[in-house]
Amino acid sequence: MDKFLRFPGEHPVRRQITEQRIATAWIGKDVIWGGEMTGKTTNFGGYAQFHPATVQWLMPGGKIGWIRLVHFPPIDASADKHGIVISTTGDVEFRIFAPGISSARVSAHRWTLPGLAVRVATDSQSFKVQPGDQWVDVKYAGITRMTLTIKKAAH
């Protein structure tokens, strides 16, 4: 309860869920991210409520932005203090929700978001951005690995 009342400082989290599933996260003051290693056994075949990689951060002005991995094949995602490392074979899609986001600020290797910077390293065969209402969908085709290096940007 003490940790809920008083932030103890940035720290990692690692929790065994089942024999094959491990949740990992990095908890920061204004940004958190997490991943789940599934042993590449969890596959929902499309869109579901399971998001094996996610980021939430405090944007300038006090609103919360988020990134979710929304479409993926069997996957492993692991979070540490630098970001999220993803291992899979196939296509992945992220939804980035940030009021005021411009798809022009999202490229294959860098997402410059309100209050957050994400560097993307991947062996993707192609990249596509689809703008929405206060969000963008980001699709990478043919990946086997991806690293999201996450940094809180100055306001």
pLDDT in tens, 88-112: 999 999 999 999 899 999 999 999 9
List pLDDT tens digits, range 64-83: 999 999 988 889 999 999 99
Element (H, E) at 3: helix 2-5
According to DSSP, residue 130 is labeled E
Q: Percentages helix, strand, coil for the chain, rounded to the nearest 5?
A: 5, 60, 35
**Helix (H) or strand (E) run with residue 5 in it:** helix 2-5
Q: What is the pLDDT of residue 42?
A: 62
The structure's pTM equals 0.90
Tens of pLDDT, residue by residue over 25-55, are: 999 999 999 998 887 766 555 555 678 899 9
Q: DSSP letters along 28-97, please?
A: -SSEEEEEEE-TT----SS--S--SEEEEEEPTTSPEEEEEEEE-SSEEEEEETTEEEEEEEEEEEEEEE
Cα separation, 152 vs 118, whole angstroms: 9
- Helices and strands in the chain, H and E counts: 1, 11
For 149, the token pair is 């290096």
